[in-house]
Structure 1
Amino acid sequence: MAFAVTSSSALHSSSLSSSIEQTKAAAQFGSFQPLDRPNFRSTAVNFSLRRCSVKPLNAEPKRNDSIVPSAATLFAHAEAVEKVEVEDYEILAEELENASPLQIMDKALDKFGNDIAIAFSGAEDVALIEYAHLTGRPFRVFSLDTGRLNPETYKLFDEVEKRYNIRIEYTFPDATEVQDLVRSKGLFSFYEDGHQECCRVRKVRPLRKALKGLRAWITGQRKDQSPGTRSEIPVVQVDPVFEGMDGGVGSLVKWNPVANVKGNDVWTFLRTMNVPVNSLHAKGYVSIGCEPCTRAVLPGQHEREGRWWWEDAKAKECGLHKGNVKEENLNGHGNSTLHANGTAAAHADIFDARSVVNLSRVGIENLLRLGERKEAWVVVLYAPWCRFCQGMEGSYLELGEKLSGSGVKVAKFRADGEEKAFAQRELQLGSFPTLLFFPKHSTRPIKYPSEKRDVESLLAFVNALQ
């Protein structure tokens, strides 16, 4: 797919900050015009092709031997050698670690010109477009239309195009692949066997196609967005998964200008600049994807719990940022991040308080066997690495304090690692956290059906069953 659109902003005449180092001018090869690109309007800017290789880790710059014979027939030998600009993006990421999103955006657009585009999902990514607009540089925006987006998202696309005087470059899934998936497995197979297959057809493959026409792309990833997958993303990196225009490992650069920005600060920026936003945000939606796989989050929930809510917390990536997912292993259940030396990273335990009883495997088995209990019990099945468990820690500890001396014991049982299979089989564990209530006169525990994890909601659940 060729990308065709620039913004109508005037060329940026000077650097935003003296701290942003100007890149060296690359060799010029004439005007760059993809075959299927429509003519620019009179105010648009024509970019010359600027060759810039991306340095893979532990690799030499890639040489394109295919251009040597033709170049040799036109130029002297000394002129036929293409000058290649090599950038160490790990060093650049360190240099830009404390830079503002506006500075990072300016650096990205200046460095890659018409060979870079902003990935826009119809959610908070509108902040990226506003930052690009503020640089004064021309910019491009692309989006993946999966065919299953919310009507509110399509409406936002139209509003963004009008505000910034651009045309979003849409990429669509292959119709035959979608047809085969739906015919063989139905419209909602992802509820039964996971979202990865559907995302691969509707999002990952179209994205791969779109990125093949670029040398760099800009995303709205933030470190505070997703448990276990985005906490270490740099502001710029060699893309670990996808290939760019030149092909091969290391041929695409990925920029994350808001990596170090908190979600609340992004929203402060959006409100300050009065930019259009998806109306779903006002209904409790934070992270917005396809309509069947997105819902509003509730009090006490992390923002990514609104995505693929029926799955385990560690699976909250669709494949677009697969490189974020670290190899994990703890007793074969994938619950602890591995360091480079192969050792498991330690996770501090949570729900530690005098008001919360720490149950062992024997303790929880005894609770299951007892038909008559002196006291009722409420138990959280948790994993200390789970961001959603961490997010409800305060309300659960407060629940323990409020129920102290009431005849209801508050407890915790760590249900990951070796205990996960047992918890899934005997304790109704679906995802972390799972809350169970053990009444005085029943052997079967009652699973908390809501995802509201504020203390008032938890108290209402317990009081209703006493």
Structure 2
Amino acid sequence: MALSLSGSSSSTSSVSGSSFPRPIDLRATQIALPFNSHERIRPVSTSLSLVSQRRHLARPLNAHPNPKVSIVASAATIVAPEVSETADVAVEDYEQLAKDLDGASPLAIMDKALEKFGNDIAIAFSGAEDVALIEYARLTGRPFRVFSLDTGRLNPETYQFFDAVEKHYGIHIEYMFPDAVEVQALVRNKGLFSFYEDGHQECCRVRKVRPLRRALKGLRAWITGQRKDQSPGTRSEVPVVQVDPVFEGLDGGVGSLIKWNPVANVSGIDIWNFLRAMNVPVNALHAQGYVSIGCEPCTRPVLPGQHEREGRWWWEDAKAKECGLHKGNLKQEEGSHNGNGNGGVHANGTTTDADIFESQNLVALTRAGIENLAKLESRKEAWLVVLYAPWCQFCQAMEGSYLELADKLAGSGVKVGKFRADGEQKEYAKQQLQLGSFPTILFFPKHSPKPIKYPSEKRDVDSLMAFVNALR
């Protein structure tokens, strides 16, 4: 999928290579790159200070192109120049950093985030009041990127708002879209409005969570508009910066993505005072009583005195109003595995969550099936099997990678399977299948009876493929 590039600049100077005719003032330049850029940022000479490097060695990636240059309309991803500033990937105690920044202003937090991660961080823009994030980024004078998830079911006013924001800031938002085949399968199998009957999680997973996961795999950090007062049931303890508990970043594995929440400690009233003071565009739906804005079928205005999140998924548990993008906010309560407000818990300890790892190239193994597989001393084909639980956020985080792996291994002589190992199957999996935590990944070789456990926390496609290739 092609992505757009965002950019604004008051400079029209032409820049090429790494030689510059004169310094460029980044306070007049906003920068964004496509998520799928294959060229990483290169370090610069240590003879200059970081500030000097940023001000004099950066190219205006988001500057409007020369109108004389012909750009093919279908090639939405433009080859962008580099910024000679390397991302800071040093190990850091983010819990301590969150404490240090807890009393800082949103502008200071935004400035710190952009300073640390450069081109490897992007602002998540939902089309609501988090336009404040873009305004704070502009005020820092630093390069920044903006992306948004287009679910295909947004209000017309939201699309118009996207356009207004792009024109106001002179940028192009990087849009991420759901997989057309997945959307088609969901609608054909369950209809357009199945979420009113069985909860919003499945639809959100297809239309929002998986596209977001793809976007974040190209980043080391992202910036959200979460606030503590948005949802007392799920966001009351949101820190200003944290290691993302659900999604993986560019390097893969737990801890590979940092999540910044610059307005976590800001009230909704103060956000709106800021937007009015800065005279920035806002979504026209706000004037119609909408406060928290999502997809059209799942969002409605709120009445005076109602909390803003009551306008989202109003038919569900008011304590768990999350679509999955911030599922790490959900706390597990006693007697409940997931607390998402949609699925209950059976007496045997399993949940009614919608299943994950669904693919025609992936085999769902029953208890009898995996017992037989484990007993075989010689198999016709090797097997890769994940032991999982649908409610497990780490299983959900690796779903896209595992499905892609299954597609790659189709017809290769390695079968890819899954075994749901929670509930009444958990004790068996712990005793017989080396289950320690979810997910556990096992490789069953062709000519060896004992399965080999995948030892790494990295669950990206390349890491999993390297594991398979080393053993098959």
Q: TM-score, normalised by structure 1?
A: 0.58
Question: In the aligned structure 2, how far is the partner of 1:166 from the partner of 1:178?
Answer: 29
Question: In the aligned structure 2, how far is the partner of 1:332 from the partner of 1:172?
Answer: 30
Alpha carbons of 1:299 and 1:38: their partners in 2 closer, same or farther (altered >3 Å)? same
Number of the residue aligned with 1:99:
104
Pick aligned residue for 2:231 from 217, 226, 231: 226
Question: In the aligned structure 2, how far is the partner of 1:331 from the partner of 1:246?
Answer: 32
The reply on whether 1:188 has 2:189 as its aligned counterpart is: no
Q: Secondary structure at the match of 1:50?
A: coil
Pick aligned residue for 1:38 from 44, 53, 78: 78
Q: CA deviation at 1:47?
A: 1.1
Summarize deviations over 1:425-449 as a string: whole Å, max 9, x none. Answer: xxxxxxxxxxxxxxxxxxxxxxxxx
Q: Which runs of 5+ in 1 are unaligned?
A: 14-24, 54-84, 337-466
Alpha carbons of 1:325 and 1:333: their partners in 2 closer, same or farther (altered >3 Å)? closer
Checking the alignment, whether the CA contact within 8 Å between 1:118 and 1:219 is kept in structure 2 is yes
Q: Which structure has the bigger radius of gyration?
A: 1
Q: CA deviation at 1:315?
A: 2.5
Question: In the aligned structure 1, how far is the partner of 2:316 from the partner of 2:186?
Answer: 20
Summarize deviations over 1:239-272 as a string: whole Å, max 9, x none. Answer: 1110111111111110000000000000000011
**Percent identity (aligned):** 76
Q: How does 1:309-388 map to 2 (within 5 A)?
A: 309-329=314-334
Q: Secondary structure at the match of 1:86?
A: coil
The reply on whether 1:153 has 2:153 as its aligned counterpart is: no
Q: CA deviation at 1:118?
A: 0.4
Alpha carbons of 1:333 and 1:28: their partners in 2 closer, same or farther (altered >3 Å)? closer
Question: How many residues align structurally?
Answer: 289
Number of the residue aligned with 1:5:
6
Question: In the aligned structure 2, how far is the partner of 1:124 from the partner of 1:139?
Answer: 18
Q: CA deviation at 1:87?
A: 1.4
Number of the residue aligned with 1:47:
83
Pick aligned residue for 1:170 from 175, 178, 181: 175
Q: How does 1:79-118 map to 2 (within 5 A)?
A: 85-118=90-123
Alpha carbons of 1:36 and 1:292: their partners in 2 closer, same or farther (altered >3 Å)? closer
Checking the alignment, whether the CA contact within 8 Å between 1:294 and 1:306 is kept in structure 2 is yes
Checking the alignment, whether the CA contact within 8 Å between 2:87 and 2:119 is kept in structure 1 is no
Checking the alignment, whether the CA contact within 8 Å between 2:244 and 2:255 is kept in structure 1 is yes
The reply on whether 1:209 has 2:245 as its aligned counterpart is: no
Question: In the aligned structure 1, how far is the partner of 2:239 from the partner of 2:329?
Answer: 10
| Counterpart AA for 1:245 | L
Question: In the aligned structure 2, how far is the partner of 1:179 from the partner of 1:332?
Answer: 30
Alpha carbons of 1:91 and 1:188: their partners in 2 closer, same or farther (altered >3 Å)? same
Q: CA deviation at 1:48?
A: 3.0
Summarize deviations over 1:317-349 as a string: whole Å, max 9, x none. Answer: 00000000111126999699xxxxxxxxxxxxx
Q: Secondary structure at the match of 2:9?
A: coil
Q: Secondary structure at the match of 1:202?
A: helix
Q: Secondary structure at the match of 1:257?
A: coil
| Counterpart AA for 2:302 | V
Number of the residue aligned with 1:244:
249
Q: CA deviation at 1:96?
A: 0.6
Q: Which runs of 5+ in 2 are unaligned?
A: 11-24, 29-40, 46-56, 62-74, 342-472
Checking the alignment, whether the CA contact within 8 Å between 2:233 and 2:320 is kept in structure 1 is no
Summarize deviations over 1:153-210 as a string: whole Å, max 9, x none. Answer: 0000000000100000000000000000000000000000000000000000000000
Checking the alignment, whether the CA contact within 8 Å between 1:8 and 1:138 is kept in structure 2 is no
Q: Secondary structure at the match of 2:133?
A: helix
| Counterpart AA for 1:95 | D
Summarize deviations over 1:196-243 as a string: whole Å, max 9, x none. Answer: 000000000000000011111000000000131100010011111101
Question: In the aligned structure 1, how far is the partner of 2:336 from the partner of 2:124?
Answer: 37
Q: CA deviation at 1:314?
A: 2.1
Q: How does 1:446-465 map to 2 (within 5 A)?
A: none
Alpha carbons of 1:168 and 1:139: their partners in 2 closer, same or farther (altered >3 Å)? same
The reply on whether 1:289 has 2:289 as its aligned counterpart is: no
Q: TM-score, normalised by structure 2?
A: 0.57
Checking the alignment, whether the CA contact within 8 Å between 1:109 and 1:116 is kept in structure 2 is yes
Checking the alignment, whether the CA contact within 8 Å between 2:208 and 2:325 is kept in structure 1 is yes
| Counterpart AA for 1:92 | L
Checking the alignment, whether the CA contact within 8 Å between 1:329 and 1:335 is kept in structure 2 is no
Cα RMSD, aligned residues only? 2.8
Number of the residue aligned with 2:391:
none
